Amino acid sequence: MTLYIESRGRGPDLVLLHGWGLHGGVFDRVAANLEADFCLHLVDLPGHGASAAAAQFDAAAIADALAGYFPLPVHLLGWSLGGLIAQHWAAQHPQQVRSLALVATSPRFVRDEAWPHAQAREAIEGVGANLDTAFELTLERFLALQMMGAPAARDTLKALKAQLFAHGRPQGLLPALHCLLHADARALAPAIACPVGLFYGARDAITPIGAGRWLAQQLTDATFYDFPQASHAPFLSHETDFVEALRLHLEQHA
């Protein structure tokens, strides 16, 4: 598995995994705030940005591949889809993860009777159905959904749109979407032994804050950080508060 990874800064290693449809560059502003004290590794997941597509987007296999890229212990941050992979990495390779930051993510992205903390299956399937016929418009609408309800959402969305294809046109979004439809990582929670910071927006419609509260109850060592005015991307809409909370989390577990 060949992945594009941008590394910058100096200090303890922090690997950042982005959400569906984007690339590692979405963390540029976070990296700019932390690179004086941490060595940041911004990963493009398979089929996203400059990384080659995979026929099957398997979260466990991608976690194994990433563990091969970073054999030394690292701090790990995963947002949305990236958070699903981060959960697998921390559970499958516990000796390699010093601390885990889960941002607006979930062990399961589809709602059912036993799991209310997610979107309806039809909402995710609708995104996939439109990728072939209206690729760019579908991605832009998905970005808009991520910002919905957050203050200054229009400005944040404008900046995100400008960055959408900065690493190239993604080639493997549908397999990753199928992963979101079928993944269920709830059984991994007891195996995640490292300290975990949970960063969630109260207005998130994609991964409702209830998913974060469930993780807080299931994980052995978790600290919950909520952003009352934020939606699905608190690191963009509430950059200063988010970076302050993330830095606290990282320094406590350096």
First-residue to last-residue Cα distance in the chain: 29
3-state helix, strand, coil in the chain (%, to 5): 45, 20, 35
CA 81, chain centre distance (Å): 5
Answer for the pair 103, 206: CB distance below 8 angstroms, yes or no.
Answer: no
Residue 207: helix, strand or coil by DSSP? coil
Active-site entry in 23, 44, 80, 253: 80
- Out of 88, 93, 167, 232, pick the active-site residue: 232
**80 is a catalytic site residue:** yes
Strands 39-44 and 4-9: antiparallel
- 232 noted as active-site residue: yes
For 149: left if phi > 0, alpha if psi spans -120 to 50, otherwise beta; the answer is left
| Helix orientation angle between 121-131 and 173-182, rounded to the nearest 10 degrees | 170
Among residues 204, 238, 249, 253, the one annotated as catalytic is 204
Nearest residue to 178 via CA among 244, 121, 118, 236: 121
Q: Are 82 and 89 in contact (CB under 8 A)?
A: no
Residue 118 in contact with residue 208, Cβ under 8 Å?
Answer: yes
Q: What is the dihedral of CA 56, 61, 62, 64, to 10 degrees?
A: -170
For residues 95 and 67, give the distance between their C-alpha atoms in angstroms, rounded to a whole number. Answer: 10
Active site amino acids: 80, 204, 232
